[in-house]
């Protein structure tokens, strides 16, 4: 979990490890969005193309795929990291998530970086703390090392 900040121009300054990851990718284009209108995501464009394919080919509830794809396109935009390791975030997403000129928390998850507002971070921390003991018992039983 890394602290970061969205500056007054709507750019997110990435920690060095994330900068190295994104700059080492064959394609420099990124897709920045929110699927649930609460948590932001930064996807390498190749990973985002896989998600678009998933939405199109999903065998589950087509309504779910349609609604999540709508959220992604409504709040999302292509982006690229600049030479200082900053990524411009779409204005609609910044407003929706309440992260304009605010501190945020970042973490890597399943091939993308998640962006949490301080409010969402505190909420998830409370939930994770409250259920940690029982969650760990379940995962230990399932083979967590």
Cα gap 107→128, rounded to integer Å = 15
* Contact between residue 93 and residue 38 where contact means Cβ atoms under 8 Å apart: no
Q: What is the CATH number of the domain that holds 55?
A: 3.40.1550.20
* Distance linking the first and last C-alpha atoms of the chain: 21
Answer for the pair 24, 6: CB distance below 8 angstroms, yes or no.
Answer: no
Q: Quickly count: other Cβ atoms within 10 Å of residue 87's Cβ.
A: 22
Percentage of the residues of the chain whose pLDDT score is greater than 70: 100
pLDDT of residue 13: 96
pLDDT exceeds 80 at position 98 = yes
- pLDDT, residue 7, reads 97
**Residue whose entry in the numeric block shows the structure tokens 């990435």:** 14
Q: How confident is the model at residue 21 (pLDDT cuts 50, 70, 90)?
A: very high
Kindly state the average pLDDT of the residues 112-122.
97
- The residue segments making up the domain with residue 18 are 2-142
Q: How far is CA 133 from CA 31, 111, 144, in A?
A: 36, 27, 14
Contact (Cβ atoms closer than 8 angstroms) between residue 22 and residue 90: no
Report residue 40: phi and psi, to 5°. Answer: -85, 155
- Tell me, what's the pLDDT at 126? 96
pLDDT in tens, 58-96: 777 788 999 999 999 999 999 999 999 999 999 999 999
Number of structural domains (the chain) is 1
């Amino acid at each position: 979990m890394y602290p970061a900040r969205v500056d007054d121009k709507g750019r997110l300054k990435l920690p060095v490890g994330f900068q190295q990851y994104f700059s080492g990718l064959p394609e420099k284009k990124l897709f920045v969005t929110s699927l649930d209108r609460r948590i932001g995501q930064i996807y390498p464009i190749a990973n985002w193309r896989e998600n678009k394919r998933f939405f199109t080919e999903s065998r589950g509830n087509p309504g779910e795929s349609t609604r999540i794809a709508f959220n992604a396109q409504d709040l999302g935009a292509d982006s690229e990291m600049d030479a200082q390791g900053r990524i411009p975030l779409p204005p609609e997403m910044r407003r929706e998530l309440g992260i304009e000129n605010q501190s945020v928390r970042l973490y890597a998850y399943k091939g993308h970086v998640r962006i949490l507002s301080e409010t969402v971070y505190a909420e998830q921390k409370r939930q994770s703390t409250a259920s940690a003991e029982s969650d760990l018992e379940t995962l230990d039983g399932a083979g967590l090392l």
